[in-house]
Structure 1
Amino acid sequence: MNKEEELMYNFRDLFNKIAYLNKFEMEEALKGLTSTEVHCIEAIEENKDPNVRRLAETLYMTRGAISKLTRRLMKKELIESYQKEDNKKEIYFKLTDSGKVIYETHERLHAKFQKRDEKVFEEMDEAQYQAMMNFINQYRNHLDQEINKQNRAIN
């Protein structure tokens, strides 16, 4: 196994372990919702003026998939659409009170999981942190360029 394969294997393994540890509590607290629905709720709450295009960019999904997803969330009465007075063409989304409860539950669970794992990060020294962040940012920039190339090829 070369460096890249080993690193990617270990990233996947790490991600899978985190998902496994979080899964049961998440599923129990957020019954009836898929992880995609929960992440859409999160994106709606955390983006300014979230519309289909902005959500598609944030969640790396197609606009068609976001349209279906937002319709499903509206049917579940977790989000609602609105238009601005100065722009009747564009449709935006916001959380309902029920959607806010889901968002807050999700945030509380993430904080709990972060607390569970904080020991690892407390033991990390500044040089380790900087090396990891440098790698992550370099890889993220590479992936952003690849996504842009792919998007240009599609459009």
Structure 2
Amino acid sequence: MNKEEQVLMGFRDVFNKLVWLNKDKMEDSLKGYKPSEVHCIEYIERNVDSNVTKLAETFYMTRGAISKMTKKLMEKGLVESYQKPDNKKEIYFRLTEQGKVIYKIHEELHKEFQERDKAVFEQVTVEQYDSMLSFMEKYNKHLDAEIKKLGMDIKSE
């Protein structure tokens, strides 16, 4: 196996292990909510004036799928829509108090997982972080270009 394959297998292994380790605790604490719904809640809380287009770009989903999800979140009382006085066309989303409770539970779980993994991250040097971040940025740009070639430029729709 060459270095490239080792890196890609490493990413896959780390991702799969994180999902497996975190799954039970996430499911127990966030019963009744799909991971995609929780991540949508997280995005809405962290990004002012979230709308269907921004959510679709972020999650690489169609606007129709996002509309369906936000409708479900509104039915569950987690998200509400609003419009700006100067733009009656665009619909934005924000969390309700109940949505903020789910967001807080999710954040606390992430903090717990970060604490669990802290020993590894404390050993990483600034140079190593810079190198990893540089690689991730390059690989992300490459994947964006590949997505664009397929005529699926989600970022600019």
Q: TM-score, normalised by structure 2?
A: 0.91
CA positional deviation for 1:10: 1.5
Identity %: 59
Pairing of 1:57-96 with structure 2 (within 5 A):
57-96=57-96
The number of residue pairs the alignment matches comes to 154
Pairing of 1:21-32 with structure 2 (within 5 A):
21-32=21-32
Q: Helix, strand or coil for the counterpart of 2:50? A: coil
Q: Which amino acid aligns with 2:10?
A: N
1:41 match? 41
Q: Helix, strand or coil for the counterpart of 1:124? A: coil
Pairing of 1:132-147 with structure 2 (within 5 A):
132-147=132-147
1:15 match? 15
CA positional deviation for 1:83: 1.0
How many Å separate the matches in 2 of 1:147 and 1:47? 24
Q: TM-score, normalised by structure 1?
A: 0.92
Mean Cα deviation higher: 126-135 or 59-68: 126-135
Distance 1:18 1:152, change over 3 A: closer
CA positional deviation for 1:152: 4.7
Task: Spell out, residue by residue over 1:3-43, the C-alpha distance to the aligned partner (whole angstroms, 9 max, x if none).
Answer: 33222111111101011111111111100000000000011
Q: Which runs of 5+ in 2 are unaligned?
A: none
RMSD of the TM alignment (CA)? 1.7
How many Å separate the matches in 1 of 2:137 and 2:49? 27
Distance 1:129 1:152, change over 3 A: closer
CA positional deviation for 1:88: 1.1
Q: Helix, strand or coil for the counterpart of 2:57? A: helix
Q: Which amino acid aligns with 2:139?
A: Y
